[in-house]
Amino acid sequence: MEQLSFFAESGQSKGLPKELLEYHAGFIDQRTSDELLQQFIRTTPWKQSTQIMWDKEYLTPRLTSWHGDPGTDYSVSGKISNPNPWTSELLMLKEKVEQATGIKFNSVLLNYYRDGNDSVAWHSDRESVLGRNPIIASVSFGQVRSFDIRNKADHKEHYSIKLEHGSFLLMKAGLQENWEHRVAKSTKPLKARVNLTFRVIV
Ligand SMILES: O=C(O)CCC(=O)C(=O)O
Ligand SMILES: [Fe+2]
């Protein structure tokens, strides 16, 4: 993956295990990021899905929207859904992410964290439709939130990275297999954040 050589040893990425994650601030310029954040919040067909935990159904604590090529179906709470179509903004970002990684993505999951009450709990993205050792490219807009990772075999081994407005995070092949990640809730008053994870559905 020669394309990734532009990733500088900048800022907070220093402690991160490079074989698992690469972080790049300022992947999208400030003005474009401001516009995209507002655009995504206003025009995305956001849904709040449900998840089953301990036999009870809960509302997922964030809004989501799945987009992709025809056929990149995904399942939420056991229901199969067709992808929403690509928009010009999503295609522009997809192209940038593909140039940076050398990987062709066919789908993207948008997450909308409205405030500090919204979150994603510890998980790894290991659905079988993602194939073995999936590579996931993540772009963030809006409120800076902490992205935590922990080793499944030893929770004491953990890292945290602040995902900034217009930043890019690459989750590499070993991450989903051996590590979990989350975006925790915060008791501080936080503003809106939109995150996009580009994926390859096989
Ligand atoms: O919001 C984020 O940065 C992470 C989202 C995530 O982990 C997911 O959609 O699977
Ligand atoms: Fe995830």
Percent of the chain with pLDDT over 70: 92
Q: Report yes or no: 65 and 40 within 8 Å, Cβ to Cβ.
A: no
Give the pair of three-digit tokens for residue 84: 């929403």
Q: Which ligand is nearest to the CA of 198?
A: 1
Q: What is the mean pLDDT of the chain?
A: 90
* pLDDT at 7 > cutoff 80: no
Quick one: 79 exposed, middle or buried, by C-beta within 10 A (0-12, 13-18, 19+)? Answer: exposed
* pLDDT at 133 > cutoff 80: yes
106 vs 53: which has the higher pLDDT: 106
Percent of the chain with pLDDT over 90: 73
Q: Which of 7-11, 81-85, 170-174 has the lowest mean pLDDT?
A: 7-11
Q: Which ligand is nearest to the CA of 119?
A: 1
Q: What is the mean pLDDT of residues 7-23?
A: 68
Dist. CA 13–CA 74, nearest whole Å = 32
Domains delineated in the chain:
12-199 (2.60.120.590)
* pLDDT at 53 > cutoff 90: no
Q: Global pTM?
A: 0.91
What's the alpha-carbon Rg for the chain, to the nearest Å? Answer: 16
CA distances, 196 to each of 113, 120, 151, 177 (Å): 11, 13, 23, 21
Q: Is 60 in the pocket of ligand 1 (CB under 6 A)?
A: no
Q: Which residue has the tokens 């849904």?
A: 47
* pLDDT at 118 > cutoff 80: yes
CA distances, 8 to each of 27, 33, 108, 118, 160 (Å): 12, 20, 25, 31, 18
Q: What is the pLDDT of residue 8?
A: 43
Work out which ligand 1 atom sits closest to the CA atom of 193.
1
* 120, 130, 175, 179: residue to mutate for ligand 1 pocket, most atoms within 8 A of CB: 120
